[in-house]
A and B are shown apart, each in its own frame.
Chain A
């Protein structure tokens, strides 16, 4: 036991790591996601306590940090994974603040003997940091037992087990499919310590996210446009292929296109304010409103 370190203040230690800063940024930049933020705080607290125990000479095995992020598309899984890399780095659990994003294409080979080198290549690149596997359920195809994905899973499991100090793996994917994936690969489930579920955003949260995105790109919505945007979000949520924040981001890109078109149509001089302002008509011009109307009519006519 280290005699100089008999007791320590948790909060000062936490401050020293610079983690609260990251958590604060997480709070400001990511709207909603309360359960996710709660879990991340818990993990951060646990890691600080674990570090402290280590400094005091209370030996424990290194905590398993592999995680699974489940949730619908566009709920912020990748963004949170990036922050996770920063948090783990500041707490000293990974040596480098870097995140390698991989999907089935990057890991699974096309012919016999191609998979292992390909997977190892990605693993080596990610070592020292975080490996984020998007749509991890696609690694396992139950309908084809000779699928090479199985080989990838085996290598992954081996590295996750033997090189815990070199690599943290985060698996991400849609909820039901990941559930199925874990049922079929019990080894994978048991090696993952933290299962975090990302909830869908509510309508208000989506509007806030949209306004934040617009602000970040140096645009703003005038009051009428803000109202139209709220209606737009309500409509878009009911249409198929809705992907939460991702749909909102795409919508904003289209608003920008329409704004540029409007400025050209009008001709003449443009002021700085014109360039920044998104007007109501830029939003109302969207196809979404028409589709939404159609769907409502369809529902009315339904028996």
Chain B
């Protein structure tokens, strides 16, 4: 199954030119570009690893593309996303985020885990990525 997280995730994968144009759009709005990677596809995993610091003073998308390519070289077996952070007052929040690189087109997906709660009359449900069975770094 395909992991749907962030913008554009229901579209076909973006090409490098399209990614560059998206970065140009982020930059044009005055937002900071940051690159993050992770091999834990759980939707509640909000803590991805940062690839370097957010780039606040870029003049051109080429700088961020350079970092993105470096990250993809180093972590071809991880999900990589590109975020746009709006530093202006009142916002100071992430405005856009999309997955720019996938380790596989066919993610194994999630297991439904049942948990018998307290005296056995309550059940709780949770999701668990199948890839989580293997240790981090060897998942894809």
Q: Total contacts A to B, CB within 8 angstroms?
A: 42
Report chain A residues within 8 Å CB of B60: 95-96, 127-129, 166
Task: Determine whether B3 belongs to the interface, using a CB cutoff of 8 Å to chain A.
Answer: no
Interface string of A113-129 (1 = CB under 8 A from B): 00001001001111111
Interface string of B38-67 (1 = CB under 8 A from A): 000000000000001001011111111011
Q: Can you offer 14 A-B residue contacts whose CB atoms are under 8 A?
A: A95-B62, A96-B60, A98-B59, A120-B66, A124-B55, A124-B58, A124-B66, A125-B57, A125-B58, A125-B63, A127-B59, A127-B66, A129-B60, A166-B62
**Pair A96/B52 contact, Cβ less than 8 Å:** no
Report chain B residues within 8 Å CB of A166: 60, 62, 66
**Pair B66/A96 contact, Cβ less than 8 Å:** no
Interface string of A123-144 (1 = CB under 8 A from B): 1111111000000000000000
Report chain A residues within 8 Å CB of B58: 124-125, 127
Task: Determine whether A79 belongs to the interface, using a CB cutoff of 8 Å to chain B.
Answer: no
CA distance A159 to B55 in the complex (A): 18
Report chain B residues within 8 Å CB of A167: 62
B41: min CB distance to chain A, Å: 29
Q: Find the residue from A117, A127, A129, A166 having the highest chain B CB count within 10 A.
A: A127
CA distance A274 to B66 in the complex (A): 57
Report chain A residues within 8 Å CB of B64: 124
**Pair B62/A163 contact, Cβ less than 8 Å:** yes
**Pair A163/B57 contact, Cβ less than 8 Å:** no
**Pair A163/B66 contact, Cβ less than 8 Å:** yes
Report chain B residues within 8 Å CB of A98: 59
Report chain B residues within 8 Å CB of A124: 55, 58, 62-64, 66-67
Q: Which residue of A lies closest to B70 (CB)?
A: A120
Report chain A residues within 8 Å CB of B57: 125
Q: Which residue of B lies closest to A98 (CB)?
A: B59
**Pair A128/B59 contact, Cβ less than 8 Å:** yes
Interface string of B64-104 (1 = CB under 8 A from A): 10110000000000000000000000000000000000000
A160: min CB distance to chain B, Å: 13
Q: Find the residue from B58, B61, B63, B67 having the highest chain A CB count within 10 A.
A: B63
B52 interface neighbour in A117, A123, A125, A128, Cβ under 8 Å: A117
B51: min CB distance to chain A, Å: 12
CA distance A123 to B64 in the complex (A): 11
B66: min CB distance to chain A, Å: 6
B27: min CB distance to chain A, Å: 10
A149: min CB distance to chain B, Å: 22
CA distance A126 to B61 in the complex (A): 11
CA distance A159 to B62 in the complex (A): 12
B62: min CB distance to chain A, Å: 4
CA distance A247 to B84 in the complex (A): 46
Interface string of A94-113 (1 = CB under 8 A from B): 01101010000000000000
CA distance A127 to B55 in the complex (A): 13
Report chain B residues within 8 Å CB of A120: 66
